[in-house]
Amino acid sequence: MQALLAAGAEAKGQDGQTALVTASLGGNAAIVSALLAAGAEVNAEALMAASHNTAIVQPLLAAGAEVNAKGQDGRTALIAALERGDAAIAQALLAAGAEVNAKDQYGQTALIAALERGDAAIVSALLAAGAEVNAKGQGGQTALIAASRRGDAAIVQALLAVGAEVNAKDQYGQTALIAASSVAGRTAIVQALLAAGAEVNAKGQGGRTALIAASSVAGRTATVQALLAAGAEVNAKDLYQTALIAASARGNAAIVSALLAAGAEVNAKDAEGNTALTVALSAGHTAIVQILQPQDAAPPAVETTSGLSLRVL
């Protein structure tokens, strides 16, 4: 360390980094303190390098580090800390006046970065510090869409409580409701979004609705039922299929029954002319075939290996 100081606090290594940046990056608080005492210049690079270590961030801030300086990718120390889940450092940076709504070059804010870690406490702190709840990040995603997709029910409620726009769409037309409906185990979030006024029949990319999304993967029967109870259009069709065809193709027997009970058109066809029954037969979903046939679905012709066309009765 004495050799470093003798060379000058602003000496740079072969990589162009100052000793302060190197020490900050390495997490060596003792060397950082010595360099600061020797008059090392505190720049943005040093604070960004230290944004994983509270013991180093604090003396750098005390020495006059610019809390809102940005790195090469436009990230601030606050965004960098939140991407790593360092809540304590984020709190220290907020206390030092970090700009809570600053964006990196991809449009990401501190709030959206924090959602990736699912830390409800730091999300609340950011909101209390004035984070713009409806700001859009990469791909036009809002905090509510991100939290709904991740399944953070407590965060979804916190965002709704401060005025998150429940029907905001990303650049693909996806809403928070469609995002939540696309993943199993999100029924509580779907219900919260519906209670907050989510448009149940909103369409995302390709015309996909929340009901079609929920019908496309097993394990979402409760979500499908919640959407139907809220008035989801059971026969809505995206560019390819209806909810019934999607559920039949993927073997979701419970969802098929729920959709039929809600008035799904059993003989509706997808973009290739297939009905729910033909896709169920093709996929070998016997239980669904048995559910669909009593519903007046026209028995499909199935071509045999000999080229004969038989009807399934």
CATH number for the region 135-233 comes to 1.25.40.20
**Are the beta carbons of 159 and 141 closer than 8 angstroms?**
no
User: What pLDDT, in 10s, does the model give residues 123-150?
Assistant: 999 999 999 999 988 888 899 999 999 9
∠ Cα 80 83 87 (to 5°)? 90
User: What pLDDT, in 10s, does the model give residues 232-286?
Assistant: 999 999 999 999 999 999 898 999 999 999 999 999 999 999 999 999 999 899 9
pLDDT at residue 298 above 60?
no
Supply the mean pLDDT for the chain. 84
Q: Any idea where the domains of the chain sit in the sequence?
A: 135-233
- The pLDDT value given to residue 75: 85
More confident residue, 53 or 244: 244
- The pLDDT value given to residue 38: 80
